[in-house]
Structure 1
Amino acid sequence: MAYLHVSGVDMRFTRDGQTHPVLAGIDLQVERGEFIALIGHSGCGKSTVLNIVAGLLQPSSGGVILDGREVAAPGPDRAVVFQNHSLLPWLTVYQNVEIAVDKVFRDTRSKAERRDWVLHSLEMVNMGHALQRLPSEISGGMKQRVGIARALAMEPKVLLLDEPFGALDALTRAHLQDEVMRIQAELHNTVLMITHDVDEAVLLSDRIVMMTNGPAATIGQVLAVDLPRPRDRIALADDATYNHCRHEVLSFLYEKQRKVEPLRARPAPAPARQKTAA
């Protein structure tokens, strides 16, 4: 059985007496240590899938099994890094990670052990020099590093990344992508990441899960990225496998968008004229 299994998940929201389908028949099996990228057009339900795996949403039908146990609520075995760093502004860099470590390991590790683990987690993302700074005193990329350190410090079974680099400039984004690859190679985390960036998906992942457009979005195609690790973004620029994967994803997204645009552009029917009494 797969380490993480999203099984037959449907998601529907009801509002004002009307039911709106969001996801239909999502079925995904992820092996331990695998890096999966979820990609698709805006509104296709990627974040909904992630939130269901995180236990923040309950599916209308189907379910999620992680390491042989059903996911029914949020838990420290699934850590989420959002696009917004979500740091507590009144706590220092050290304290933002410490609060998560204390919550998870207070009963199993001594105070000294927890302190060493906080420091180790921050060193992993190269933030050991900024322990006493507040979030307002560091850059956006540094904040994301702290958010990643906090998530990793919980030693989750699955790391869930919701477009964690989407708000960053290109250079900072590239540096953090390299950091994530290095950390994943070191820790062998199981990672599920949402992205809109095709190059990011190909660079980081073992498989790319492409979702169809909503409503009732589902998995349209799964692409294995057969590239050896470690990966060098410069060397991959001319790699035939890299460019093939990139082309496959772009083709899928382009075809799905082309099917949607005519529907959006179609003019609404003119209202019927009301007959007046003679």
Structure 2
Amino acid sequence: MQEVMTENAQERFRFENISMHFQTPAGPLEVVRDMSFSVNQGDFISLVGPSGCGKTTLLNMAAGFLRPASGKVSLDGKQITGPGPDRGVMFQEYGVFPWLTVEQNIAFGLNLKASGRRSASEKTEIVDRYLHLMGLESFRKAYPKMLSGGMRQRLALARTYAVHPQFVLMDEPFGALDAQTRSAMHDLLLEVLHAEGKTVLLITHSVEEAVYLSNKVLVISARPSRIREVVDIPFPYPRNHLLQETPEFNKLRSHIHHLVMREYAAQEAQG
């Protein structure tokens, strides 16, 4: 068993001896092997590693979309058996409904029974709050097709946060954005996280993004995946992009990049 824990912190998620395989035409494909780690309250943890190493599989287990073949994933000591309103999920493909306006998209989760009963005035207050936080107030009645890619991603973030999940699970949410918009989204995300105090699990292929956003980076090995190394990110919040020009930032980025590239080579060698 490979275990990663942080002492003297409140553990929320726990991945315990997780293994997973999928059936393929060529036979069973082992994706994750006997992996254990925990996510503590207030963590921003990024998972980096080669494509196909099982990062999204791990996130889907946390979301309750998948059950491990062996081992268990628990939240506050209770095994996760399905999705729940305490976990908000963001994907790369924006995840907004094109037939709903901006304000209707944000309100969508608030109208679901699973999110609890709220009065009409409470729902309006929440929608107004996130329209303001995301800079979308003047686009309240607009449809997603009228928005830029960055604005649609802000809308997806607003819809995820509006139901007040305790945990935000993000799968390459900024991968389709241009560099300038992606940088702006990083700062917006950190600003909202500071205001909301959420716990985040992020999948990203960008080492720079992982170091800038996270307090901890988990480098995932080639299949069958294990945790190759846990890298603590020592920079305090709030952060700004001048951090990326410091020798300390570049040293961490280079170290993680080297680890990831070594795992890419190992995965390529598997064929």
Give the alignment's TM-score, normalised by structure 2: 0.92
Q: Which moved more, 1:39-48 or 1:107-116?
A: 107-116
Q: Which residue of 2 aligns with 1:257?
A: 264
Q: Which residue of 2 aligns with 1:117?
A: 126
Q: Which residue of 2 aligns with 1:244?
A: 251
Runs of 4+ in 1 over 6 A off after TM superposition: none
RMSD: 1.6
d(CA) in 2 for partners of 1:3 and 1:182?
A: 22
Q: Which residue of 2 aligns with 1:226?
A: 234
Q: Report the structure number with the largest CA radius of gyration.
A: 1
Q: Which residue of 1 aligns with 2:41?
A: 32
Check the 8 A contact 1:13/1:22 in 2, yes or no: yes
Q: In the alignment, which of 196, 216, 222 is matched to residue 205 of structure 2?
A: 196
Matched residue SS, 2:11: coil
Q: Which residue of 2 aligns with 1:11?
A: 20
Shift, 1:70, TM fit: 1.7
Q: Which residue of 2 aligns with 1:64?
A: 73
Deviation per CA, 1:50-104: give whole Å up to 9, x if none.
Answer: 1110001111011111123221001111110100012111100100111111115
- What are the equivalent positions in structure 2 for 1:109-258 lying under 5 Å apart? 109-214=118-223, 216-238=224-246, 240-258=247-265
Matched residue SS, 1:3: strand
Question: What is the count of residue pairs matched by the alignment?
Answer: 262
Check the 8 A contact 1:93/1:131 in 2, yes or no: yes
d(CA) in 2 for partners of 1:15 and 1:254?
A: 26
d(CA) in 2 for partners of 1:33 and 1:89?
A: 32
The one-letter code of the counterpart of 2:88 is: A
Deviation per CA, 1:191-215: give whole Å up to 9, x if none.
Answer: 000000011000000000110111x
Matched residue SS, 1:226: coil
d(CA) in 1 for partners of 2:131 and 2:260?
A: 37
Query: Which 5+ residue runs of structure 1 have no aligned equivalent?
Result: 265-278
Matched residue SS, 2:169: strand
d(CA) in 2 for partners of 1:261 and 1:108?
A: 51
Q: In the alignment, which of 62, 75, 94 is matched to residue 53 of structure 1?
A: 62
The one-letter code of the counterpart of 1:251 is: H
Pair 92,211 (structure 1): closer, same or farther in 2 beyond 3 Å: same
Shift, 1:42, TM fit: 0.7
d(CA) in 1 for partners of 2:98 and 2:265?
A: 43
Identity of aligned residues (%): 35
Check the 8 A contact 2:44/2:213 in 1, yes or no: yes
Pair 47,34 (structure 1): closer, same or farther in 2 beyond 3 Å: same
Shift, 1:16, TM fit: 4.9
The one-letter code of the counterpart of 2:200 is: V
d(CA) in 1 for partners of 2:182 and 2:35?
A: 30
Shift, 1:236, TM fit: 3.4
Query: Which 5+ residue runs of structure 2 have no aligned equivalent?
Result: 1-9
Give the alignment's TM-score, normalised by structure 1: 0.90
